[in-house]
Structure 1
Amino acid sequence: LAYNQIAPFMRFAHLTANQAILDAVEGARRIHILDLDAAHGVQWPPLLQAIAERADPAAGPPEVRITGAGADRDTLLRTGSRLRAFARSIQLPFHFTPLLLSSAATHHHQQVASASTTTTTSSAATSLELHPEETLAVNCVMFLHKLGGHDELAAFLKWVKAMAPAVVTVAERETIGGGFDRIEDLPQRAAVAMDHYSAVFEALEATVPPGSRERLAVEQEVLGREIDAALGPAGGRWWGGLERWGAAARGAGFAERPLSAFAVSQARLLLRLHYPSEGYHVQEARGACFLGWQT
């Protein structure tokens, strides 16, 4: 949460993904969002608010269900409680179902892909419910890099495609040079991570004093763990790049959706209002929206 307050990267990903979902589910009366890395659920209150505000007064708001996946059951249950309370406050029919995944990143796909579509109670955290009358959106913000190699990524995307979602949202880190299939060599992983995180730390330097408690917490609890993971054996999967994620998605039968001009304008407004440093820039390219730091 502190990271979102001092840096725009995750809020940018959430905002643009939410706009894509909002566009895809317009007019639907029952909406199901499968969030494959739900964590604290900070992405969803703005979307729930937007859905409620767009509702037809005569028909009333649609019913929204979020299946939130993660490795910590207690965190998912707390997230569900917060989101249910928020939905009640805006009078939006809402359900939250936790989906418990293996804590090991290499097992994420196996756990998800083996989840059945059997009916469960809303508190069950062991299986995935799919209802044919729902419009499904699958949210893969900062998730695809956690999967294994090309074969596992392809199998996962084919599994998602088989559910016939209205939209799949993807947000990942991008590197100079378009990314890599996999980086086996530690020095190369270190060089790529250095390139990425030097820009991240430069952005923090321009917006937050080095000794602030918020920045120290973010460096230790968020960025430190990310860097450890990026340098580890699985870190070579982090830097896939847009072309490789896109090629895998097309190979599974997906097609790109047109980029929403409103989403891009909202992203730029987010930067102007909350992160006024001139170093951040939003760019539309190759059918995607990028947030970068001008070094």
Structure 2
Amino acid sequence: MLGSSSSSHQHKNNKDLDSPQPPPPRSIAMRQLLTAAQLISQSDLSAANHLISILSSNSSAYGDSSERLVHSFTKALSLRLHYHHKIFLNVSPLKSFMKPPSYNINIYNDQYDSVLQSSYLSLNKITPFIRFGQFTANQAILEVIDYQQNIHIIDFDIMLGVQWPPLMQAISNHHPPPTLRITAIGTNLNTLRRTGDRLSKFARSLGLKFSFYPLLLPNTNNETLTVDHLINHLSDVLLLPNETLAVNCDFYLHRHLNNRDKLCLLLRKIKSMKPRVVTLSEQEAYHNNPIFLSRFMEAMKYYTAVFESLEATLPPNSRERIEVEQVWFGKVIADIVAEEGDCRKERHERFRSWEVMMVSAGFRKVPLSGYALSQARLLLRLHYPCEGYNLEVIDDSFFLGWGNQSLFSVSSWR
């Protein structure tokens, strides 16, 4: 699908590229996109900038899946060019990342936080990606706690807390219902408070004894500092001897892979807390390659499948689809492609890498049950009845994919 052409060829044809042209066929656009990435990797920034301007003119956030993909990756390459220009000033390119023109909101202000949360809710609604991980994790938690009378869940990056109402509903049906305590980790105190208020209100409606404890982390771009703070803050978490502890890591730990030793310390810290279960959901991709061009090609392959899945399930004019593609995935793509060093946070690695780290930290895998598998299949059949999605069980863990591309993994550990 991806090809390349030389930079000298691009220089010879700059005059032709300047003239108005119809949108290129998908294969040509993909090759041009890869060529632009190659030019950047060779530090031929002038030629790259020229080709990126052509791609910007010919791609659209509102076309078919390939046009939308080219549009998102072209924006990300443009940001990487900005990085090259600002590298000596130590300026992160994502600080100038802008959403589609209709929003015109800078990524790092409070208003964008609200839009990002909206895109997360849309992602949860229109794709099985989030629900697949959360429903499977909930079932794993339910099976190992076995309706103990006191349940404590530590949730890394709880965000809006959409994972927990189904679990709360399930445990409230037990007589007598257990007590539930959630320690919620996040970097935005207002979001944590609103999430706690919503979950507390829902618990009251169920007659469930519930308490919510926010664990606020520093909002910093220094990822190593964040891991250190996280380990220190976990030491302050109250662990009661009569509680059953579950730890939920939902698309979170990959952000700390810039320092694998620190991440291993964090995993050992979690193990020392003696949880009954640790649930781990991650993207099944290798976006942590230090070589830019290899990372770019891996991301292209991965998000081609993601964008094709969205096209197969939603109409072109779906506002939620555009929001998810350009805001949620657009931000992730921009981080993978444009950022380097500690500024880059989206450092996905495949399940085998996580398996090695978990085992080295002292964890052993807990097989996901046949009932959890039935639930995951039911989720896909009822809510996302599209033939392109597939579910595989490999080494007692679940993998969700589109076509031949595996996209997400869920596993359970103790």
Q: Same fold (TM over 0.5)?
A: yes
Cα distance change, pair 16–108 in 1 and its aligned pair in 2 (3 A): farther
Greater shift in the superposed pair: 270-279 or 104-113: 104-113
Partner of 1:161: 271
Displacement after TM superposition at 1:228 (Å): 1.6
In 2, Cα distance between equivalents of 1:2 and 1:239: 22
Q: What does residue 125 of structure 2 align with?
A: 5
CA separation in 1, counterparts of 2:136 and 2:248?
Answer: 11
Distance 1:108 1:275 in 2: 37
SS in 2 for 1:164: coil
Q: Which residue of 1 aligns with 2:6?
A: none
Is the counterpart of residue 34 in structure 1 residue 154 in structure 2?
A: yes
Offset at 1:289? 0.1
Structure 1 residue 108, shift from structure 2 partner: 3.3
Match of 1:20 in 2: 140
Distance in 1 of aligned mates of 2:328 and 2:345: 19
RMSD over aligned Cα atoms: 1.6
Cα offset, 1:193, TM superposition: 1.1
Q: 1:220 aligns with which of 316, 323, 326?
A: 326
Q: How many residues align?
A: 278
State the structure with more CA Rg.
2
| Cα distance between partner residues in 2 of 1:45 and 1:101 | 24
- Whole-angstrom distance in 2 between the partners of 1:212 and 1:237: 26
Bigger shift: residues 67-76 or 215-224: 215-224
Matches within 5 A, 1:106-255: 106=223, 107-115=225-233, 117=235, 127-147=236-256, 148-175=258-285, 179=286, 182-231=288-337, 232-233=339-340, 235=344, 238-255=347-364
CA distance in 1 between partners of 2:166 and 2:375 (Å): 13
Structure 1 residue 77: deviation in Å? 0.3
Unaligned runs of 5+ in 1: 118-126
Alignment check: 8 A CA contact 1:189 1:236 kept: no
Q: Is contact 1:142-1:170 (8 Å) kept?
A: yes
Structure 1 residue 243, shift from structure 2 partner: 1.0
Instruction: Measure, in 1, the Cα distance between the counterparts of 2:364 and 2:234.
Output: 26
Give per-residue Cα distances to partners, 1:138-192, cap 9 Å, x unaligned: 10110110113220121010000010000000000013xxx47x41111111111
Change in Cα spacing, 1:291 to 1:116, as seen in structure 2 (3 Å) is closer
Cα deviation for residue 8 of structure 1 reads 0.6
Q: Deviations over 1:216-256 (max 9, x none)?
A: 11122211111122222255862321111011111111000
| 8 A Cα contact 1:63 1:92, kept in partner | yes
Cα shift readout 1:29-69 (whole Å, capped 9, x = no counterpart): 1110000010000000001111112x13xxx1110001111
Moved more, 162-171 or 148-157: 148-157
Report the secondary structure of 1:27's partner residue. Answer: coil
Q: Is the 1:183–1:237 contact (alpha carbons within 8 Å) kept by the matching residues of 2?
A: no
In the alignment, structure 1 residue 67 sits paired with structure 2 residue 187: no
Identity level (%): 45
Change (3 A) 1:116 1:4: closer
Q: Residue 174 of structure 1 contacts residue 242 of structure 1 at CA under 8 Å; is this kept in 2? A: yes
Distance (whole Å) between structure 1 residues aligned to residue 295 and residue 218 of structure 2: 25
Letter in 1 for 2:354: W
Task: Give unpaired runs (5+ residues) of structure 2.
Answer: 1-120, 405-414
Contact preservation (8 Å) 1:31, 1:65: yes
Name the counterpart of 2:195.
79
Q: Which letter maps to 2:229?
A: Q
Amino acid of the structure 1 residue aligned with 2:215? L
4+ runs deviating over 6 angstroms: none
Residue pair 2:151, 2:178 contacting (<8 A) in 1 also: yes
From 391, 395, 414, the counterpart of 1:286: 395
